[in-house]
Amino acid sequence: MQSIQSEGYPVIFENSIPELVKFVEQGNYSRFFILTDENTGEHCLPIVQTALAHLDNFDIIEVNAGEENKNIDFCVGVWKMLIDFGADRKALMINLGGGVITDMGGFVASTYKRGIDFVQVPTTLLSQVDASVGGKTGVDVDGIKNIIGTFTQPRAVFMADEFLHTLPPRQILSGLAEMLKHGLIVDRQYWDTLKTSDLSLPSTELIHRSVEIKNEIVLQDPHEKSIRKALNFGHTIGHAVETWSLLNDKDPLTHGEAIAIGMICEAWLSNQKTDLPDNELIEIIEVLGGLYPHYQITEESLPTLLEHMQKDKKNLNGNINCTLLTNIGQYSIDNICFADELCDSLRYYAAL
Amino acid sequence: MQSIQSEGYPVIFENSIPELVKFVEQGNYSRFFILTDENTGEHCLPIVQTALAHLDNFDIIEVNAGEENKNIDFCVGVWKMLIDFGADRKALMINLGGGVITDMGGFVASTYKRGIDFVQVPTTLLSQVDASVGGKTGVDVDGIKNIIGTFTQPRAVFMADEFLHTLPPRQILSGLAEMLKHGLIVDRQYWDTLKTSDLSLPSTELIHRSVEIKNEIVLQDPHEKSIRKALNFGHTIGHAVETWSLLNDKDPLTHGEAIAIGMICEAWLSNQKTDLPDNELIEIIEVLGGLYPHYQITEESLPTLLEHMQKDKKNLNGNINCTLLTNIGQYSIDNICFADELCDSLRYYAAL
């Protein structure tokens, strides 16, 4: 399967682990560092470590897993480790893990000594289809997602499907939400294919197409000034629900579960504001409702959810900005949504 | 006096405050934030605030003064304030202060929501001649200077000499060290002019030439891969002495005082390793010794000083790298210096 060329770097789909080894061997790096978390350390690190065993110039930096650890304190910890290991400007970071590791590792690398090289080895479906192209790095502050970060491209991305086999079904569903979104915003045919596929473990072809769609969008608008906002469909409300759940639930929603809720709410808003046809709204609700469990949203939580939306990075001039659909496969950016409308969309979801 | 064009932005020397006001008025920013510290807040902020008084869409963020506060905790504080003030991606940061404010403010702006616009209004001689061009932003971790940062250009730099009138003589001397360095590395004639000028308050012409020299160098090598290292003359040893003093002295050395020591040590190394003529070494010692007080460096401090040098960003493959001189006005980069040599240079300085 062909690699995808993104902004100055390849996303490699075939023989990814041997290709990673070749990259490291030929890269003339002074030393390399594998950033990983305890989950990845257990399931994926052994594969990479075995492949790299003949090299001796590397260290492993393991951090705690989970979105709640994607904060600046963890970055400080990793920076200090790089200092202690004597990492110089010709060091390489290999970010091996899900989105927390690739986002945070990318930020750490892009700011250490004003920037060292890094590569991404995403090990979850979500990070493969969402974090592998686009050059966004980021960490959370005060629970606000990715409020701090940079736009910095990795040197390469290595996609290995062997990592996906160890993922629990909920993690697969989490990534699937982004794939469905890619269909909804620009590719009706891809949406139709996904609907009728076995989605318990999406095929590499389906993943490839998802990365291709995202890549086409980000290449046209690397710094999210215009059409890249298409990718935010479902995310204004979805991020708020995700933050709420992270702060309130013992077993918080996954990113994809929250985005699925956001997509239903924003499909309803699309029906109200940008003429998404009724039958397409129903189709979206049926597909997402069939895949994701229903989540209870109470009237009391609405003010806090709105507050989270008000802190969204995409807002301008104090207005809450949504990407909506005009049809399945067609998006519309920069739709200002008022508090009433947003609350009504959440009420609509709650009553489903 | 003509503006200097740097990488995509101007450094403005004439009518700077009115030019800043015009920039803000015409910039289509949603809101702007003036980052300042308590010193600048007292002496310089009133000038800027009066000029901007007719605008109402700004807030002032004041932080504690001093290099010891240029760390990631302060960045977190400023990021949180920006969040609380509702700063969006079209916000502007005006960094009004010395190098701590311009370096840290640049880093905060370059990473907030993955980067908002910022302008620099350097208020010390040091920040005017050193931090105004080059696009380096940075903060310290564990006392290691600028170990975290980005290469990000401001939208403009405004140089106003009225700020310099309130500076104590020691602060003038601190900036002067960088100006003298600019002469030593590439412009013998400029060095000669400086030697014979009244340096109690360097003229705008002298400051302009200093920025011009630095700008010519950084434009050729924005990411410090090669000739930009010329600017590190005096800094390998100087930074170590500065860190030492910051950690050990009640009244620590200024940056320029430390760099003056570093330049004497590295001039001695140049005499030993890159054939800087004896008479030029003596000339450098006489000029710097006439301007800066002698600092006591003890034999016991040498191992710690070496440790600091080993953590320098410029090192590669574990070697300590110095920029040296072959003549006054000519530099030589990437000279590996061994521990013995570095200690001997410090002993040479101590015995002067």
- Of A77, A134, A76, A138, nearest to A110 by C-alpha is A138
Residue B166 in this model has a pLDDT that exceeds 90: no
Contact between chains at B86 and A150 (C-beta distance less than 8 A): no
Q: Given B75, B86, B318, which is nearest A86 (Cβ)?
A: B318
Of the given ranges (A23-27, A58-62, B283-287, B314-318), which has the lowest mean pLDDT?
B314-318
pLDDT given for residue A350 in this prediction? 97
What is the sign of the dihedral through the CA atoms of A6, A10, A12 and A16?
A: negative
Q: Where are the domains of chain B?
A: 4-166, 170-350
Residue B250 is given by DSSP the state S
Residue type, A237: I
Q: Which of residues 223-242 of A touch B (CB under 8 A)?
A: 223-224
Residue B311 in this model has a pLDDT that exceeds 90: no
Give CA separation, B199 vs B125, B174, B202, B204, B206, in Å.
12, 12, 5, 12, 10
- The Cβ of residue A220 has, within 10 Å, a number of other Cβ atoms equal to 11
Sort out which chain A residues have CB atoms less than 8 A from B86's CB and list them.
Answer: 310-311, 318
Percent share of chain A, pLDDT over 90: 84
Residue A281 in this model has a pLDDT that exceeds 90: yes
Q: Given A79, A137, A318, which is nearest B148 (Cβ)?
A: A79
Mean pLDDT of chain B: 94
Looking at domain A169-350, what is its CATH homologous superfamily? Dehydroquinate synthase-like - alpha domain (1.20.1090.10)
Q: Which residues pair with A85 in a beta bridge?
A: none
Identify whether the C-beta of residue B27 lies closer than 8 Å to the C-beta of residue B238: no
pLDDT given for residue B94 in this prediction? 97
Sort out which chain B residues have CB atoms less than 8 A from A314's CB and list them.
Answer: 89
pLDDT given for residue B27 in this prediction? 93
Q: What value does the mean pLDDT take over residues A100-106?
A: 96
- The Cβ of residue A299 has, within 10 Å, a number of other Cβ atoms equal to 10
* Gap between the Cα atoms of A271 and A276, Å rounded: 4
Which chain A residue has its CA at the smallest distance from B151's CA?
A114
Three-state SS for B319? strand
Go through chain A and tell me how many residues it has: 352
Sort out which chain A residues have CB atoms less than 8 A from B148's CB and list them.
Answer: 79, 111-112
Mean pLDDT of chain A: 94
pLDDT digits (tens, 9 = 90+) for A64-74: 888 778 899 99
pLDDT given for residue B67 in this prediction? 78
Q: Give me the residue label for tokens 């993955």.
A: B114
* Gap between the Cα atoms of B270 and B280, Å rounded: 10
Of the given ranges (A218-227, B25-34, B148-157), which has the lowest mean pLDDT?
A218-227
Preferred mutation among A30, A73, A114, A334 to probe B, highest tally of B CBs within 10 A: A114
Backbone angles phi, psi at A256, to 5 degrees: -65, -40
Angle of helix A255-273 versus helix A235-248 axis, rounded to 10:
140
Min Cα–Cα distance to chain A from B27, Å: 14
Of the given ranges (A36-45, A191-200, A209-218), which has the lowest mean pLDDT?
A36-45
pLDDT given for residue A318 in this prediction? 77
Contact between chains at B313 and A89 (C-beta distance less than 8 A): yes
Sort out which chain A residues have CB atoms less than 8 A from B147's CB and list them.
Answer: 79, 83, 112-113
Q: Given B30, B76, B150, which is nearest A115 (Cβ)?
A: B150
Question: Is A148's Cβ below 8 Å from some Cβ in B?
Answer: yes
pLDDT given for residue B222 in this prediction? 87
Q: Give me the residue label for tokens 């000499």.
A: B161
Q: Given A110, A313, A318, which is nearest B113 (Cβ)?
A: A313
pLDDT given for residue B274 in this prediction? 97
Backbone angles phi, psi at B224, to 5 degrees: 55, 50
Q: What value does the mean pLDDT take over residues A210-217?
A: 97
Residue B332 in this model has a pLDDT that exceeds 80: yes
pLDDT digits (tens, 9 = 90+) for A134-162: 999 999 988 788 899 999 999 999 999 89
Preferred mutation among A148, A152, A312 to probe B, highest tally of B CBs within 10 A: A148
Identify whether the C-beta of residue A349 lies closer than 8 Å to the C-beta of residue A268: yes
Q: Which residues pair with A91 in a beta bridge?
A: A31
pLDDT band at residue A295 under the 50/70/90 scheme: very high
pLDDT digits (tens, 9 = 90+) for A180-210: 999 999 999 999 999 999 889 899 999 999 9
pLDDT digits (tens, 9 = 90+) for B22-51: 999 999 999 999 999 998 888 899 999 999
pLDDT given for residue B151 in this prediction? 95
Preferred mutation among B32, B79, B148, B320 to probe A, highest tally of A CBs within 10 A: B148
Contact between chains at A111 and B112 (C-beta distance less than 8 A): no
Strands A117-122, A144-148: pairing is unpaired
Min Cα–Cα distance to chain B from A306, Å: 14
CATH architecture of the region A4-166: 3-Layer(aba) Sandwich (3.40)
pLDDT given for residue B68 in this prediction? 79
Percent share of chain A, pLDDT over 70: 100
Residue B317 in this model has a pLDDT that exceeds 80: no
Contact between chains at B115 and A150 (C-beta distance less than 8 A): yes
pLDDT given for residue B302 in this prediction? 97
pLDDT given for residue A225 in this prediction? 85
**Has domain B170-350 been given CATH number 1.20.1090.10?**
yes
Query: In terms of C-beta density within 10 A (0-12 exposed, 13-18 middle, 19 or more buried), how is residue A250 classed?
Result: exposed
pLDDT given for residue B348 in this prediction? 98
* Gap between the Cα atoms of B278 and B270, Å rounded: 10
pLDDT given for residue B231 in this prediction? 96
Which chain B residue has its CA at the smallest distance from A135's CA?
B114
Q: What value does the mean pLDDT take over residues B297-301?
A: 97
Min Cα–Cα distance to chain A from B162, Å: 32
pLDDT digits (tens, 9 = 90+) for A15-32: 999 999 999 999 999 999
Contact between chains at A151 and B112 (C-beta distance less than 8 A): no
Question: Is A142's Cβ below 8 Å from some Cβ in B?
Answer: yes
Contact between chains at A80 and B316 (C-beta distance less than 8 A): no
Query: A-B interface: how many C-beta pairs under 8 angstroms?
Result: 104
CA gyration radius, chain B:
20
* Gap between the Cα atoms of A257 and A141, Å rounded: 22
pLDDT given for residue A138 in this prediction? 95
pLDDT given for residue A187 in this prediction? 97
pLDDT given for residue A142 in this prediction? 82
Residue A79 in this model has a pLDDT that exceeds 90: yes
pLDDT digits (tens, 9 = 90+) for A307-337: 999 987 777 777 899 999 999 999 999 999 9
Q: What value does the mean pLDDT take over residues B104-118?
A: 97
Q: Given A114, A136, A315, which is nearest B136 (Cβ)?
A: A114
Backbone angles phi, psi at B338, to 5 degrees: -85, 160
A49-63, A302-316, B268-282: which has the highest mean pLDDT? B268-282
pLDDT given for residue B273 in this prediction? 97
Contact between chains at B89 and A144 (C-beta distance less than 8 A): no
Identify whether the C-beta of residue B293 lies closer than 8 Å to the C-beta of residue B257: yes
pLDDT given for residue A69 in this prediction? 84
pLDDT digits (tens, 9 = 90+) for B206-265: 999 999 999 999 999 988 888 999 999 999 999 999 999 988 999 999 999 999 999 999
* Gap between the Cα atoms of A25 and B20, Å rounded: 50
Q: What value does the mean pLDDT take over residues B142-167?
A: 92
pLDDT band at residue B80 under the 50/70/90 scheme: very high
* Gap between the Cα atoms of A109 and A120, Å rounded: 11
Contact between chains at B114 and A79 (C-beta distance less than 8 A): no
pLDDT given for residue B223 in this prediction? 84
Preferred mutation among A80, A111, A117, A308 to probe B, highest tally of B CBs within 10 A: A111
Question: Is A313's Cβ below 8 Å from some Cβ in B?
Answer: yes
